[in-house]
Structure formats: structure tokens, C-alpha cells
Structure 1
Amino acid sequence: MSFLNSISQASAAQSTQSTGNPFLDSVRLQTKEAVPEAKKQELTQEDFFALLSQQLSMQDPFKPVENDQMIAQMASFSTVDGIANLNDHIVNLNTVMTSSQALQASGLVGQKVLIPSASGHVSTEEPNLHGVISTSKPIETIMVRIEDAKGQLVKTFSVDGSDGGNIDVNWDGLDAEGKPVAEGTYTIKASGRIDGKAEELPVSTYAHVTSVSLGTAATGAILNLRGIGGIKLSDVLAVAES
């Protein structure tokens, strides 16, 4: 043993001993015991065959394990091992599909998509707000209300809904006085009389796709919309020209 090793061992031994002075003991650096790493709780194929070999060596030679029982044990382990491998392959497949979906969705960057939301973003680049009003029956006159992010009324106008179905609605971004509104998020609300009763009608709006995110296997590709945020590709209702 070298002289330096002796000094280090002596220092380590002293660090674990008390000096008798509470103050010195409290400020002295304490040695940390090594924490063993946690062992895996899953049995591998090697563990299974080790247990199987141990079972065969410890069995009663006058009452050996039947062949069908041995085969059943090996078949059960093979089934569990196969399911685990299948799960790994499925995870890898989901990752590949998610990446492929995001690559395909990247073609939507710069386009406009119809989303199931009545709110849209108005800016200097896009001063207009386009949407679609859905009605199950023809309505002669549909009243449209434009509200800002605080729910305050900005403008009202009417559109013809006599054809029924999906009706296009377009707001020019001007308030009731004909002045351009400030940049921000605005909501289109529509109502009409169906069978003599006033009802709120569902509205969808178009949004500009700025980028695409990979997302996860559960969500798929995420479209990032200007001024709105992200939406799943599967929630897109339609794609329009930019």
C-alpha cells in the first residue's frame, strides 16, 4: 500500500468519526454512502432458462415434470416475450407514421384550413375573416354577429341562407363605422329561425397554417395556425387556397 493511499484511507476513517464537538461535527463534510443501482424487475429470456434449468435439477427423479407441462411453460414464456416484442414494433411503427404524417402535412404550410372553431385571427396581412355557417334546413335570413376577444359586439350583418347546408360568410374586417379593427382574435356568431324558433348555428373559420409540428403518436401531426395556436391535423375540415 502506498503512502498516499494510507493518507486517504486515514482521512476517510476520521471523517466518519465524531470529534466530540457538536459544532465541528455539524459543519464537517459528511461522507456519502454509495447507493446501489436499482435492479430491473423484469425477467429476461436468460432468467427464464436459468429458472427452468434449476427446476429440472431439483425435480424428483421418480416424479419428473410431464412433457406437456414443460411445453406449456415454454409456450407461455414465448407468448409473453412475443407480445413484448410486438409492443416495441408498434411503438416504432407509430413513430414512423407520425413522422411521415408530419412530412405530408408540411405541404399545408402557407395554405388555409377550415377548423371547427368560430374564432379567427385578423391582422394587417389578413384583414378579412372567412368562415362557414352550417344549417340543417334552409333559412331565408341568417343574422351574423362579429365579437372581439372580450365578447363586445363589433358589427352585425345578414347573409342569405335559403340554400341551406354550408353557407360561406365573409367579414371584411371593418367595424360598424367602416373602420378597420385592431389586430386580434374575433368570433363569428350566427343565428336564424328554424321551424319558428331562433337558434344559434355552428360556425367554422379558416386559418392560415404557419408551420407543422411532429406531435405524438396519440395526437399525430399538429398544424400551427397564425394567431390561434395548434390544432390536430385530424380536426381539419377542409383545405382552401392561400
Structure 2
Amino acid sequence: MASAFDTTLSNLGISRYGANTAPTTTTKNNASMGQDDFLTLMTAQLRNQDPFEPMDNNQMVAQMAQFSSLSGITEMNATLSAIAQKLGGTTTSDLLSWVGSTVLVQGDTAFPRTDGTLGGTILLGDDASNVEVKISNADGTTLKTVSLGAQEAGTLDFEWDGSTDSGEAAGNGPFTIAVSAQNADGKSVSAQTLVWAPVQSVSFDSDGKPVLNLPGIGQTSPDDVVKVG
């Protein structure tokens, strides 16, 4: 069976072997043509051309242009691949720089800022006529209910001043955040809570992948971080 290389030569009107003989060849697994294959093909074309009807100069220039384009595309693909890997991956040094910072991740356990206030984000799956945020202490006692009223679907930020319903300071936490949302028909609307958590340390799991250690939340993949504060 003719190889992809032989088929290409045949399409160009080149006889790689004699008229009636062809050696046994091994089939290569590569389905694409690289720079070396292109150069070999061009060399074979020159070697096997009819001396009485040499290759047209315009055809030669066109093939050289194709070779140059192939070379440039190959180099460009390699460069773009390297850039994509750099942009798409977070290095260990990047993660270590997060230690001591706060990150926004999915969760319901939150710690207040140094001034006692607390902020978070809600992802609403649909428009809601009423959204409420309940903040509880470690014992499950509701400390504060923050009413956000009617909100549109999407991302919604909320803030809490750190005081209870009775006006007292709530303390250092940790606090549990619970969100409830209903539409105009009184049906529940899906609501996902994102909280800010400090990065205590960075470690590696059994597969060697880095994880962030967040108090109250546990180990979290860097891919799950929405924002770094």
C-alpha cells in the first residue's frame, strides 16, 4: 500500500521508484507533514524532474513560499503554545505570593476584616423579588439578617458592618453565611455564596497538584479562586 509520502509524490507527477518496482516500506504514524517532510518532498521532486521539461520557476517559487509559510506557522504555534501554558497555569511562586492574602471562593464560612466588617458575593440563577442574607455564629444563632430586596440574575455583592440585629459587635467569627431568594411567584431562586477567606498556606495533594489551605473552608484548588484580594 502506498504511503502518504508516495501519494503526495504521485499527485505532483513524480515517480519515486522505477516504473515497475517499489521497495517494501514501513508506514509512519504521522498524519501531518512537517518541515523535514516538506523539504524531502521538494528535493525528490527536483531529483526526479524531466531534464527536457524542468520545473516551472513560478511553481518552484510557489513551493518555496509554502515552505516558508509552513516554517513560520510551526514557529508561531510553538510560541503561542508556550504563551498559553504560561497564561493558563499558575506557578508555585504565584501561589506562594497568595499566602496572607484573601481569595474569593465558593463557601459559606467567612471571617470579618480587621475592622469587623464582612463582604461576599452571591450568584443568582434567576431574577429575584427578594434576597436575604443571614449571618450566624458558630453556634448557629442568627446574628444579622441583611435584606437586599429585588435583584436581577447574575453577580451580586453584599456587605455587613459587623453588628448584630441588636446593634452589638458580632466579634471575630467565623460566621456562617446563608442566602435565600424568591421570585415574584414566591418560588425559590438558586443562589450560590462566594466568601472571602485568608490563604494560610499552600500545599500539594497526593497527585502533586497545589492546593490552598483556607480556614473554615479547607483545601481549595487554585482553579476555584474567583478573585484575589
TM-score, normalising length: structure 1: 0.50
Residue of structure 1 equivalent to 2:224: 235
Whether 2:147 is the aligned partner of 1:163: answer no
Q: Structure 1 residue 129: deviation in Å?
A: 2.0
Amino acid of the residue matched to residue 224 of structure 2?
Answer: D
Amino acid of the residue matched to residue 137 of structure 1?
Answer: D
Q: Among the aligned pairs, what percent are the same residue?
A: 27
- Change over 3 Å in CA distance of 1:180–1:232 after alignment to 2: same
Q: Structure 1 residue 105: deviation in Å?
A: 1.0
Q: Structure 1 residue 164: deviation in Å?
A: 2.1
CA deviation map 1:134-192 (0-9, x unaligned): 11222233112111122111111211442320100111211112211122211111112
Q: Distance in 1 between matches of 2:152 and 2:136?
A: 26
Amino acid of the residue matched to residue 228 of structure 2?
Answer: A
CA deviation map 1:171-217 (0-9, x unaligned): 12111122111222111111121251342622111112232223332
Q: Structure 1 residue 235: deviation in Å?
A: 2.6
- Which structure dedicates a bigger proportion of its chain to helix? 1
Aligned residues of 1:189 and 1:201 also touching (Cα < 8 A):
no
CA deviation map 1:12-33 (0-9, x unaligned): xxxxxxxxxxxxxxxxxxxxxx
CA deviation map 1:1-48 (0-9, x unaligned): xxxxxxxxxxxxxxxxxxxxxxxxxxxxxxxxxxxxxxxxxxxxxxxx
Aligned residues of 2:130 and 2:183 also touching (Cα < 8 A):
no
Residue of structure 2 equivalent to 1:137: 126
Provide the secondary structure at the position in 1 that maps to 2:138.
Answer: coil
Q: Distance in 1 between matches of 2:205 and 2:115?
A: 27
Aligned residues of 1:116 and 1:205 also touching (Cα < 8 A):
yes
Q: What is the correspondence of 1:34-45 to structure 2 with a 5 Å cutoff? A: none
Provide the secondary structure at the position in 2 that maps to 1:168.
Answer: strand
CA deviation map 1:48-105 (0-9, x unaligned): xxxxxxxxxxxxxxxxxxxxxxxxxxxxxxxxxxxxxxxxxxxxxxxxxxxx843331
Q: Distance in 2 between matches of 1:240 and 1:101?
A: 15
Aligned residues of 2:125 and 2:191 also touching (Cα < 8 A):
no
Provide the secondary structure at the position in 2 that maps to 1:108.
Answer: coil
Residues paired across the two proteins, number: 139
Aligned residues of 1:133 and 1:166 also touching (Cα < 8 A):
yes
Q: Distance in 2 between matches of 1:130 and 1:164?
A: 19
- Change over 3 Å in CA distance of 1:228–1:193 after alignment to 2: closer
Residue of structure 1 equivalent to 2:98: 108
Q: Distance in 2 between matches of 1:140 and 1:194?
A: 5
TM-score, normalising length: structure 2: 0.53
Residue of structure 1 equivalent to 2:198: 208
Larger Rg: 1
Residue of structure 2 equivalent to 1:217: 207
Residue of structure 1 equivalent to 2:176: 187
Residue of structure 2 equivalent to 1:120: 110
Structure 1: stretches of 5+ with no match in the other structure = 1-99
Q: Distance in 2 between matches of 1:231 and 1:161?
A: 32
Amino acid of the residue matched to residue 185 of structure 1?
Answer: P
Q: Distance in 1 between matches of 2:217 and 2:207?
A: 23
Provide the secondary structure at the position in 1 that maps to 2:181.
Answer: strand
Aligned residues of 1:102 and 1:214 also touching (Cα < 8 A):
no
Amino acid of the residue matched to residue 116 of structure 1?
Answer: Q
Amino acid of the residue matched to residue 107 of structure 1?
Answer: S
Amino acid of the residue matched to residue 200 of structure 2?
Answer: T
Amino acid of the residue matched to residue 206 of structure 2?
Answer: T
Provide the secondary structure at the position in 1 that maps to 2:199.
Answer: strand
